[in-house]
Chains A and B, each alone.
Chain A
Amino acid sequence: MGDFFSAIGDVVTNEVTYSGAMRFAALLAFAAIGETIAEKAGTLNISLEGMVLGGAFAGALGMHLTESVTVGLVFASVIGIIVASVQANMSHRLTANQFVVGLALNTLVLGIASFLNTSIQPVTRAAHRFEIPGVSELPLIGDALFNQPWPLYLVYPMIPAAWWLLYRTRWGLEVRAVGENPQSADVSGIDVNKRRRESIYIAGLTSGLGGGYLVLGQIGRFEDAVVGGQGFIAIAAVIFGGWTMRGVIGGCLLFGTVNSFRLTLPTVGHELNSELLSAAPFVVTIVTVTFFAHRTREPRALAQPFVRGLT
């Protein structure tokens, strides 16, 4: 047990832990911000994983074609929106079951990405680091927050922007109304399914960007297993955060930190079983959601399709 605590102590005082945590958390945050908006409108968007993966591959492809990180990120967000448009129109225009659409989309994107990956084999390199002078000198967290590959910085303005969109605009109010009580929203003249589709497009945009960031900022190349369930962890972060922007970001940071522990523990010289460590973020997610989820309330109409005149 003492061994365990000394291991934790070593990790906590290690700067690398914080940089790693920030990088994992950023990916989760990209996806979770969009997912929050989509869930506020009433969609439990399982295809988040597919959107991130599509964005990741598109990012690599854009880089391969033009050797520019910016173009890669644009590609990534466009593919994210394309995946989102399938989900949105299937589940909120045709009112097909949103979980079925999401699962099929995840399979489809994985299939297409790995198929094209083996036939194209995109050549990529990671985006350069950008150090923000002054603030990056802060002890422990300075490097983590302000000395990172530059696509990561996109997530900082995105958080207040998403909050403003959701809580300070008419559109955001309508989105929240649609997620709480679609019947009332419909009666007051809001196009319920249109708002839901739009919110899914935003989820596609942000999580596609997240995928682009993952490949171009964090890892530097594309593999089939590059996302590896992190889209699902982002969904967990939204539920963990109780559908508030503050809570969701907190969840992303927590899960990012757990993920980073897994990588830093061996480097500071502590042997732990790799399988058990890989399972740790998922177990931690389940346990934390178990003990915190009941304090919050999900959007009333979450995962319920809306058809006028029904119910």
Chain B
Amino acid sequence: MSEQQAPLAAEGPETAPTATEGSRSAPSRLREAGVAAAMYLGCIIVALFASALIVWATGGSWQAVFSALLDGSLRAPGRWGETIGIAIPLVVVALGTAINGRAGVVNIGQEGQVMMGTAFATYVGVNLGGPGPIVVVCLLIVGALAGAMWAGIASWLLYWRRVPEVLTTLLLITVASQATGYALKVDWLLLAPFRADRSVRNQVSEQLATDTRLPRIDIWGNDFPISAIAVVLMAVIVFLLFKRSVWGFRMRMLGRNARTATRAGVSTVKYGTNAMLISGACAGLAGALMLSGGDFGNYRFTPGFANNIGWEGLLVALVARSHPVGIVVVGFSFAGLRAGSGFLAATGVEREISQVVLALLVLALLVPPAILFIRERRRALAATRART
């Protein structure tokens, strides 16, 4: 299956080698870019209009909803720090997904990998004694390893028994959520010892000690963990890997055409497994960052901790078409939507509407590249026909 899998985030417009490419002049290329930008803008407006329609149809005020979303993500004091805090795990998950997207291996189980990463990181963070900074580094590494392990199961089954990785990664999400839920029920794993501040039935882990948390930066009342800087660096590294390294080139070759890659001596198993493990490690790391960063769950692990971050990170990578710069931009926007949904309660509209807006945006952003791709194809076919 892997060999024939269409790459999950195959870049549409660039993949088509066109006959007209060389002959096109600069102004027409500028016009192309303008058309593309207009199309993106149009589609985003349509998506927002559709969401406004849903709000209006159920008797809410769409102006109030959009203004609440903006307040909650940027305008209200301290909110863009919150948005950055949410964007961190989204971008990390998405960067990992970009790597397996390039290699043509599908991983849609980030949600489960995030949960496994967080659970293992919690165990290390709570139980490992020693100086704080060392514990933080250890818990981040262990989180990444746990995520890689969870994705590794899928890639192992893929290359050992040809089990479709779409299926295994998907099913392992539920297994991860049940396994971590179980770990949160027994004291010798993650459950916090009983104290007065916790009811008996609560599934909650011990809180990370203050010296084992990531330090936070404060700019004009907006505070976010320092991992934000590391995430930007990570995006740069992934960008350079894709653009400048042999490894990245081989990954891309494998994703674009597995048969050619094999003929050129790129081992499908080796590079495919690598891509999968890295992607899982990124998701696990994202979970560990969520735990030690403090924007999620107040340094405690609970059953609902992952809260769809894995799914949204996956969507970020897909919408950004596996491009690291795009991932940072899209990740920040999606994080803004999530941060903004916290302010919706005041408008009387259910917060699920932010999910609707998000999904409509994703669908809308798929349209322009597809149309551009089809136009390019038509033009190329016409050019071929004209020559013969």
Q: Cβ of A103 and Cβ of B367 under 8 Å apart?
A: no
Q: How far is the CA of A157 from the CA of B12 in the complex (A)?
A: 42
A303 in complex: contacting residue of B4, B311, B359, B371, CB < 8 Å: B4
Q: How far is the CA of A111 from the CA of B59 in the complex (A)?
A: 17
Interface residue? A188 (CB, 8 A): no
Q: How far is the CA of A96 from the CA of B371 in the complex (A)?
A: 9
Q: Report B-chain residues with C-beta under 8 Å of the C-beta of A46.
A: 108, 166
Q: Cβ of A90 and Cβ of B163 under 8 Å apart?
A: no
Q: How far is the CA of A86 from the CA of B47 in the complex (A)?
A: 14
Q: Report A-chain residues with C-beta under 8 Å of the C-beta of B58.
A: 115-116, 119
Beta-carbon contacts of A281-311 to B below 8 Å, as 1s and 0s?
A: 0110110011101100010111111011110
Question: Shortest distance in angstroms between A194's beta carbon and chain B's nearest beta carbon?
Answer: 15
* Segment of A1-9, A26-34, A162-170, A228-236 in the binding face: A228-236
Q: Report A-chain residues with C-beta under 8 Å of the C-beta of B244.
A: none
Question: Shortest distance in angstroms between A185's beta carbon and chain B's nearest beta carbon?
Answer: 16
Q: Cβ of A275 and Cβ of B360 under 8 Å apart?
A: no
Query: Quick one: which of B335-362 are within 8 Å of A by CB?
Result: 350, 352-356, 358-360, 362
Interface residue? A178 (CB, 8 A): no
Question: Shortest distance in angstroms between B167's beta carbon and chain A's nearest beta carbon?
Answer: 6
Q: Cβ of B108 and Cβ of A103 under 8 Å apart?
A: yes
Of chain B, the residue at the smallest CB distance from A119 is: B58
Q: Report A-chain residues with C-beta under 8 Å of the C-beta of B185.
A: 275
Q: How far is the CA of A104 from the CA of B357 in the complex (A)?
A: 11
Question: Shortest distance in angstroms between B303's beta carbon and chain A's nearest beta carbon?
Answer: 10
* Segment of B172-180, B272-280, B285-293 in the binding face: B172-180
Q: Cβ of B10 and Cβ of A97 under 8 Å apart?
A: yes
Query: Quick one: which of B128-183 are within 8 Å of A by CB?
Result: 157, 161-164, 166-168, 170-172, 174-175, 178-179, 181-182
Q: Report B-chain residues with C-beta under 8 Å of the C-beta of A105.
A: 359, 363
Interface residue? A112 (CB, 8 A): yes
Interface residue? A123 (CB, 8 A): no
Given the interface pairs A118-B350, A290-B161, the reply to whether A283 lies near B366 with Cβ below 8 Å is no
Q: Cβ of A96 and Cβ of B366 under 8 Å apart?
A: yes
Question: Shortest distance in angstroms between B288's beta carbon and chain A's nearest beta carbon?
Answer: 22
B179 in complex: contacting residue of A100, A108, A233, A275, CB < 8 Å: A275
Q: Cβ of A100 and Cβ of B318 under 8 Å apart?
A: yes
Q: Cβ of B315 and Cβ of A99 under 8 Å apart?
A: no
Q: Report B-chain residues with C-beta under 8 Å of the C-beta of A86.
A: 363
Query: Quick one: which of B41-90 are within 8 Å of A by CB?
Result: 54, 58-59
Q: How far is the CA of A46 from the CA of B6 in the complex (A)?
A: 14
Residues of chain A at the chain B interface (Cβ within 8 Å):
44, 46, 86, 90, 94-101, 103-105, 107-108, 110-112, 114-116, 118-119, 229, 232-233, 235-236, 239, 273, 275-276, 278-279, 282-283, 285-286, 289-291, 293-294, 298, 300-305, 307-310
Residues of chain B at the chain A interface (Cβ within 8 Å):
1, 4-6, 8-10, 12, 16, 54, 58-59, 106, 108, 157, 161-164, 166-168, 170-172, 174-175, 178-179, 181-182, 185, 311, 314-315, 318-319, 350, 352-356, 358-360, 362-363, 366-367, 369-371, 373-374, 377, 380-381
Write 13 A-B pairs (CB below 8 A) sorted by A numbering: A86-B363, A90-B363, A95-B12, A99-B8, A103-B315, A110-B355, A111-B352, A111-B356, A116-B58, A239-B164, A278-B178, A279-B174, A290-B163
Q: Closest 4 A-B residue pairs measured CB to CB? A: A111-B355, A108-B359, A94-B370, A279-B178
